[in-house]
A and B are shown apart, each in its own frame.
Chain A
Amino acid sequence: MIWVSWRRQRTETLVTAALLALLAAVLVPTGIEMASTFDRDGLAACLGAQPGQACASALSSFNSRFDSLGSFIAWLTLVPGLIGVLLAAPLVLELEHRTHRLAWTQSVSRARWLAGKLGLAIAVALAASLVFTLLVTWWRAPMVRIDGRLDQSVFDSEGTVVSGYTLFALGLAAAVGVVWRRAVASLVVGFVGYFAARIFVDTWLRQRFLSPVTTTFNLLSGGPDKLRHAWVLNEYPSDRAGHHVRIPFDLCGPPPPGGGKPDIGNCLADHGVFMHATYLPAGRFWALQGIETALFCGVALVLLAFAAWWTYSRAD
């Protein structure tokens, strides 16, 4: 049974492997370059709270050099969806070409056949997610040391969430496909659905997983250390108690002519204006990962169970 499932899923698995190989071909050389730049410029020493002038210029040159790559990498978050829907193809094709009648009239029961087919798809999806996550995490290690890993584009390709995304895409395409029995159309719908669900979670839901923390700090101090690498949800000028206020530019206005640089931060603090931030601390990374992984895996499980049940009981 395993051999049959494998043989039926060989093309999709090879395409997945090719996709990951292509990714590695881009990430490995640039990753090595980025890591060696990070070491050569001694950026590790610059990650303290108050970097000096030399550090600031080294950091900014590092950022300007690799930022474009970083934003390209943000698009990689589509890859788990692509792999997921691709792995749903063997099951849907089976129903579209009606070859399930061949498989179901050998001596293997429908339940075992389904278990073999979905089991293999899930296994390859998980393996591909693991490779993807390891690759991207290794590649981005220097950037993460500078910017942290709660940023949207970082969070969704590290930790455990990628496996959730891939399984979700697989489950969605499979669920649509077993009902519709059109492979190409179901895969497209599955992918669009994946994209929509991801946007919804990224931009609206994730920040509501945990109750955020608030802090009030001196406006131009650059913020307390706990905001470093944190996910700042909301920031506004406030009074000492955190109530929203307007910045009184008339009081702490532009520098007097001929005068030196005014200390606007302290001026504002003197007039009772602070900065209020709502944020999720960097330490919440794994809690957020856990919740999001459980969410996507849970929905994926429901979708896969539905696909299996529908195929088992409805198709003939």
Chain B
Amino acid sequence: MTAPVHAHGLGKRYGATWALRDCTLEIPTGSVTALVGPNGAGKTTLLQLVVGLSRPTDGSVRVFGADPVGDPAAVLQHVGFVAQEHPLYRGFTIADTLKLGLKMNPNWDDELAHARIEQLGLPIRRKVGKLSGGQQAQVALTLALAKRPDLLVLDEPVASLDPLARREFLQSLMEAVAEGGLTVILSSHILADLERVCDHIIILANGRTQLASPIDDVVATHRLLTGPRADAAAIARMHDVVSERHTERQTSLLVRANGHVYDATWELHEVDLEEIVLAYLARDRSAMADTVRSA
């Protein structure tokens, strides 16, 4: 089976600014991928390209082997999408919203949709505009899930929710994933939300992919090296140095190790995912600052 998402050299430019540049990645079937990055990193742009809401300026993206813009009929019915701020028709009741799903999707599972709304305890005759943010997010997720998609794309689904609604939303999502057969991409700038749910991670910053890998591999290959103050050059010959920090006496390096680190001058520590992600994002910020300075 073709990969749910395959991007090659994908780029999108708005005016003179590249929102996304030279993005090459593949989302494996059945994975739950976290798309992380600061605001303005290109997360929304990438996801909109995947669901065919925007047209690439450069490169290509294939969803189940088809072009989402050129052949929407082949792509759309396999993809469930919840956009940022989960847009819904505020004048529609929940029942109207589900009827919209029924009318606009050939694989619509009406039973599932109504069962979910009932299980969530949402009043089906209530207008969507009168629901809380968390309830609206749940309706949007229901609309996406009842399409019976093979790929679910969620753009900042929990950013606007309070902590309780956030937990309930992710709980619903995990239940849906547990039923199997679903590939998920969800973006967030808050990593803590995603760590429990996801098994793959893509770090996006400044319009470019910084890292795309299974989370287990990320944690397994990244190490914090501490030792007496030294130059990082020797280590950098063998491994990728993500960040370096020097005090008067000590140097600490976060590296992505290619195999073992044999140098006995360094003490090795394990690092958690959040620290790794922050290191990548910080690296990008300093790179960006360099660009600005040299300009």
Which one of B74-82, B181-189, B212-220, B244-252 contacts A? B74-82
Indicate if B88 sits at the interface (CB-CB under 8 A). Answer: yes
Report Cα–Cα, A8/B97, bound state, in Å: 11
Most buried by A among B77, B96, B100: B100
Question: Are B87 and A98 within 8 A (Cβ)?
Answer: yes
Number of residues from A at the complex interface, CB < 8 A: 21
Task: Check B83 against A101 for contact (C-beta < 8 Å).
Answer: yes
Q: List 5 A-B contacts (CB under 8 A).
A: A104-B52, A105-B52, A105-B81, A107-B76, A107-B77
Cβ contact within 8 Å between B87 and A97: yes
Q: Which chain B residues have a beta carbon within 8 Å of chain A's beta carbons?
A: 48, 51-55, 72-73, 76-77, 79-81, 83, 85, 87-92, 96, 99-101, 103-107, 143, 147
* Alpha-carbon distance between A11 and B127 when the two chains are bound, in angstroms: 15
Is there an interface contact between B83 and A109, defined as CB atoms closer than 8 Å?
A: no
CB distance from A210 to the nearest CB of B (A): 48
Instruction: Decide: A99 and B72 in contact? CB cutoff 8 A.
Output: no
Q: What total count of A-B pairs have CB within 8 Å? A: 67
Judging by beta carbons under 8 Å apart, are B76 and A105 in contact?
yes
Instruction: Quote the shortest CB–CB distance from A57 to chain B (angstroms).
Output: 58
Contact status B87-A106, CB under 8 Å = no
CB-based contact B88/A99 at 8 Å: yes
Complex CA gap A118/B24 in Å reads 38
Known contacts A99-B87, A99-B88; A105 and B51 CB within 8 A of each other:
yes
B147/A107 in contact, CB under 8 A: yes
Residues of A in contact with B (beta carbons under 8 Å apart): 1, 3-4, 7-8, 11, 97-99, 101-110, 313, 316
Q: Do residues B89 and A102 form an inter-chain contact, with CB atoms below 8 A?
A: yes
Given contacts A102-B83, A104-B53, contact A109 B100 (CB under 8 A): no
Q: Which of B89, B99, B107, B143 has the most CB of A within 10 A?
A: B89
Tell me which of B85, B89, B147 contacts A106 (CB under 8 A): B147
* Nearest A-chain residue to B71, judged by Cβ: A109
**Set B73, B79, B89: member contacting A105, Cβ < 8 A:** B79
Supply 7 further A-B pairs (C-beta < 8 A) apart from A101-B53, A105-B81.
A98-B85, A102-B89, A103-B104, A107-B106, A107-B147, A313-B55, A316-B48
Bound state CA distance, A109 and B148, in angstroms?
18
Kindly provide the distance from the CB of B85 to the nearest chain A CB, expressed in whole angstroms: 8
The interface residues of chain B lying within 8 Å CB-to-CB of A105 are 51-53, 76, 79-81, 83
Whether A7 lies near B100 (C-beta < 8 A) is: yes
Using A7-B92, A98-B87, A101-B83 as known contacts, say yes or no to A106 and B100 having CB atoms under 8 A apart.
yes
Known contacts A1-B103, A316-B48: A106-B76 contact under CB 8 Å: yes
Tell me how far the C-beta of B11 lies from the nearest C-beta in chain A, rounded to whole angstroms: 15
A177 nearest CB across to chain B (Å): 18
